Structure 1
Amino acid sequence: MDTDNEQQIHYGDDYHYIPATSVASGKGVELQADVYAFTTQIVNLVAIGLPGKDSFVLVDAGMPNSADEILAMTRDRFGPHSRPKAIILTHAHFDHVGGLVDLIREWQVPVYAHTEELPYLTGEKSYPKPDPTVEGGMLAKLSFAFPHEPLKLGSWVHSLPDDGSVPGLPDFRWMHTPGHTPGHVSLFREKDRMLIAGDAFITVRQDQLYSVLTQKMEISGPPRYFTPDWDAAHESVKKLEALRPAFAVTGHGSPVSGEQLMDGLHMLAQRFGELAVPDYGKYARHKH
């Protein structure tokens, strides 16, 4: 990468290491031969491609300061000289783009996100601040310290194709699943009903510190402290439930499959106001 272009990309001004972890940190799970979910501290990313084939696609980019760990994982799985065809973002919250600038500098590959997510990746717009007043546990109370300012990726970031295709992943389609963020997307592969859901729904109560530390399984709505539009979030969950996925990797919590996934996602879609929407908080809506 030339020096001028490298100087144009950087993290948000409030980016910093977050001292939070879980029992899953540094571990990976192979859901299919070509789908590998890996956890950095308290968030998941996904590497899609066959092991040892040098080329793959990375979905999301971990916590702040996680680039070295991500690079080590990809070199171990795909080969010492491996590099992705592209990096796809479900959204641009700090815990999904935490290693992104360093990964671009190392790999020099394009990044793709929904058009409505681009302002948070080009320095134009900050996310709404996290809401530490929201109903929830200790992690929600600590969310005031979470970064929310935009990255500046310059010419490295692009809009996902309008036709629903995913660069580098011909078998996957992307779908717009807003609510947690305006441009949140999820990825789905019809042939094995594999879903990469980002934070449209998750499999742990992300606002509760004990659940995060232990990774206690619970199909839940998006993180309460960072979700401003609960009506859109509910519609997104219903859209994903209608796919009847067989496997799901979410942004937080363990991968889930089979009846546990379908039953849990159905219950969440049917009882979203009760199970997901907080009773109080800056972005909470009246609950019926």
Structure 2
Amino acid sequence: MDKSSSTERYIPMTTISSGKGIEIAPDIYSFTIQFVNVCFIGTAEKGWVLVDAGTPKSARKIFDEAEKRFGHNAKPEAIILTHAHFDHIGAIFELMEEWDVPIYGHSLELPYLTGQKNYPIPDRSVDKGLIAKISPLFPIEAIDLGHRVHELPSNGTVPHIEGWRWIYTPGHTEGHVSLFREIDRALIVGDAFVTVNQESLYEVITQKLEIHGPPKYLTPDWATSWQSVKTLENLHPLLAVTGHGQPVSGEWLKNNLAYLSKEFDKIAIPKQGNMFNNL
């Protein structure tokens, strides 16, 4: 198993929400690490999974939060990855070594998790925001999880959490997935859309609530990203946990997701870009 800068390079950036958790439902808990959210799904009694693995050097924070929520020596049944960007797999090796549990991702994301393929260098030209400008400094190297990583079941179920299914939502990455539960229309979005302007350092720090498409500097396929947002809007979710920004629900989610789905070309797609597939 090979590490890379995607799990080793600490990014000195944070938000006012870092270190805070929000219970979205009795068995859904969002926890912010620096500028990204991980999600705990399940209960101590019935078992739980971790969705995404935070930023590099954040494992201790995840371990501590798991113990607070589920008890001493709490251990998930599995780790589910929405995708393999550095801020979603940063602590994966430490978590894997401590917990010894299977890790799941989409088949098209596995090359980034088995050392075969790096992501493209982020495109600093897509936006005037400071984070966009410094984004080429973000690590994009693949990691190799070896036999620990598995393909998500082809029938759409999510291992170890009953009632959930994974939804293929590519565009931000080739194998990006979101998770959905029909009974309460709960949605774990990953980065298919976000609720903060992820290109602006000020808005990331302050966590100003706004609907946005996926982070521009790391999204190579905008036509597919738009279709993924339409797919999620058609689920009519009642609550959503995004990879970046605040969890949202009710009328705010309904109205703003419909707006994003309709006006994606105006809201989300950058007007310029050096290498990305703009419409």
TM-score, normalized by the shorter chain, greater than 0.5:
yes
Contact 1:130 1:225 in 2 (8 A): yes
Q: In structure 1, what is the equivalent of residue 24 of structure 2? A: 31
Give a deviation string over 1:106-147, Cα, whole Å, max 9, x none: 000000000000000000000111111212300110101100
1:224 to 2:232 alignment: no
- The one of 81, 84, 92 aligned to 1:100: 92
- The one of 220, 227, 239 aligned to 1:235: 227
Q: In structure 2, what is the equivalent of residue 143 of structure 1? A: 135
Distance, in Å, in 2 between the alignment partners of 1:120 and 1:83 is 25
Identity over aligned pairs, percent: 53
Q: Structure 1 pair 78/27, CA: closer, same or farther in 2 (3 Å)?
A: same
Aligned residue identity for 1:88: I
Q: Structure 1 pair 122/205, CA: closer, same or farther in 2 (3 Å)?
A: same
Distance, in Å, in 1 between the alignment partners of 2:46 and 2:33 is 22
Q: In structure 2, what is the equivalent of residue 179 of structure 1? A: 171
Distance apart, 1:90 and its partner CA: 0.3
Q: Structure 1 pair 54/83, CA: closer, same or farther in 2 (3 Å)?
A: farther
Contact 2:173 2:220 in 1 (8 A): yes
Q: In structure 2, what is the equivalent of residue 73 of structure 1? A: 65
Q: In structure 2, what is the equivalent of residue 247 of structure 1? A: 239
Farther off after superposition, 131-140 or 259-268: 131-140
Contact 1:55 1:78 in 2 (8 A): no
1:49 to 2:46 alignment: no
Distance apart, 1:193 and its partner CA: 0.3
In the TM superposition, structure 1's runs of 4+ consecutive aligned residues that sit over 2 Å from their partners are 8-15, 52-55, 282-287
Q: Structure 1 pair 188/162, CA: closer, same or farther in 2 (3 Å)?
A: same
Distance apart, 1:77 and its partner CA: 0.6
Q: Secondary structure at the match of 1:225?
A: helix
Aligned residue identity for 1:93: H
Aligned residue identity for 1:228: P
Aligned residue identity for 2:222: W
1:208 to 2:200 alignment: yes
Q: Secondary structure at the match of 1:62?
A: coil
Contact 1:277 1:284 in 2 (8 A): no
Distance, in Å, in 2 between the alignment partners of 1:130 and 1:38 is 26
Distance apart, 1:14 and its partner CA: 7.8
Q: Secondary structure at the match of 2:87?
A: coil
Q: Structure 1 pair 13/162, CA: closer, same or farther in 2 (3 Å)?
A: closer
Farther off after superposition, 264-273 or 125-134: 125-134
Give a deviation string over 1:205-263, Cα, whole Å, max 9, x none: 00011110000000100000000000000000000000010000000000000010010
Distance apart, 1:283 and its partner CA: 4.1
Distance, in Å, in 2 between the alignment partners of 1:13 and 1:240 is 28
Contact 1:54 1:79 in 2 (8 A): no
Q: Structure 1 pair 53/286, CA: closer, same or farther in 2 (3 Å)?
A: closer
Q: Structure 1 pair 201/158, CA: closer, same or farther in 2 (3 Å)?
A: same
Q: Secondary structure at the match of 1:106?
A: helix
Unpaired stretches in structure 1, ≥5 consecutive residues: 1-7
Q: In structure 2, what is the equivalent of residue 269 of structure 1? A: 261
Q: Secondary structure at the match of 1:22?
A: coil
Distance apart, 1:169 and its partner CA: 1.1
1:199 to 2:194 alignment: no
Distance, in Å, in 2 between the alignment partners of 1:280 and 1:178 is 21
Give a deviation string over 1:25-57, Cα, whole Å, max 9, x none: 00000000000000000000100112x438310
Q: Secondary structure at the match of 2:76?
A: strand
Distance, in Å, in 1 between the alignment partners of 2:174 and 2:207 is 27
Give a deviation string over 1:250-287, Cα, whole Å, max 9, x none: 00000000010010000001000100000111245555
1:190 to 2:161 alignment: no
| TM-score, with structure 1 as normaliser | 0.94
Q: In structure 1, what is the equivalent of residue 52 of structure 2? A: 60
Q: Structure 1 pair 13/271, CA: closer, same or farther in 2 (3 Å)?
A: closer
Q: Structure 1 pair 9/219, CA: closer, same or farther in 2 (3 Å)?
A: same
Aligned residue identity for 2:212: S
Distance, in Å, in 2 between the alignment partners of 1:54 and 1:69 is 23
Unpaired stretches in structure 2, ≥5 consecutive residues: none
Q: Secondary structure at the match of 1:165?
A: coil
